[in-house]
Amino acid sequence: MSISIPLSDPDLTVTEVRAVQAALQGTRLCGGELVERFEAAFAASVGRVQAVAVSNANLGLQMVLRAHGIGAGDEVVCSSHSWKETAHAIAAVGATPIFSEIDYWSGTLDAAKIEPRLTPRTKAILAANTNGHPAPWAPLEALALEHDLLLLEDSTEAIGSRYQGRPVGSFGHCSVFDFSHPAAITPPSCGGCAVGAATSAPA
C-alpha cells in the first residue's frame, strides 16, 4: 500500500471564487491593474524593486536567462534534485544544465560541491529553495562573487521561508516564483496548470 503526502492542500474560499468571477466579468482576462497591483505588492514583500508576472515559472526562468545574455555555449549549474522544468528552461535558451550535488538534509545545492563543476563556460548558478528549505545563500553568494557568476534563485517551493532574517526571493541577481499547483501559494487553476510566476530584481 502506498501513502501519498501532498506538498500542498488547496484551500479555496469564497474570496478566491469571487476574485475569479470578477476577473472573468471584467474587460480583460490578462494584464491590467490587478496584475500590476500584484506585481508591486509581491516585489515589496520579498524586498525587490520590481516583479513581472508571466504565464508560468518555466517562461520566467527563460526570460531571466535570456535577459542576462545566457544562451548557446553557456553552462548553468543547477541542482541534481529539482523540478524538471528548471533544466528544461536552461536547455530551452540553448545553454547546458550542469547538475551539482545537494546537501543530504535540506535537499538544496551544496555550495562546497559546486566549485569542481565550474568551467570557463559557466555563466550562472541556479539554486532552489527545496520543500521550504532555503538554500545556503551566504556561501552561494560568496562563490558567485568570487567567480563573477550570475546567481539566480528559484523560490517555487519556499514562499514565506526566511534565511538569516531575509525572505527567500531576496537573494542573488534575480528570483523566480511559481504559483501553480502544488506550489505553496496557488490561485484557483484548472488541472494543475501554472497560472503565474514572478521574476524580480534586487533592491
Task: Answer whether residue 23 is part of any domain.
Answer: no
Task: Answer whether residue 197 is part of any domain.
Answer: yes
pLDDT in tens, 26-63: 887 777 888 888 888 888 888 888 888 888 888 889 99
Task: Answer whether residue 115 is part of any domain.
Answer: yes
Q: Report the domain count for the chain.
A: 1
CATH classification at residue 143: 3.40.640.10
Half-sphere exposure of residue 160: CA atoms within 13 angstroms, side-chain side: 7
pTM of the predicted structure, to 2 decimals:
0.83
Smallest Cα–Cα separation from 48: which of 165, 173, 195? Answer: 173
Task: Answer whether residue 14 is part of any domain.
Answer: no
pLDDT in tens, 169-188: 899 898 888 877 666 666 54
Task: Answer whether residue 117 is part of any domain.
Answer: yes
Task: Answer whether residue 1 is part of any domain.
Answer: no
Structural domain for 104, as ranges: 31-202
Q: In what order do the strands lie in the sheet with 48-54?
A: 48-54, 197-202, 174-178, 150-154, 122-128, 75-79, 96-100
Task: Answer whether residue 25 is part of any domain.
Answer: no
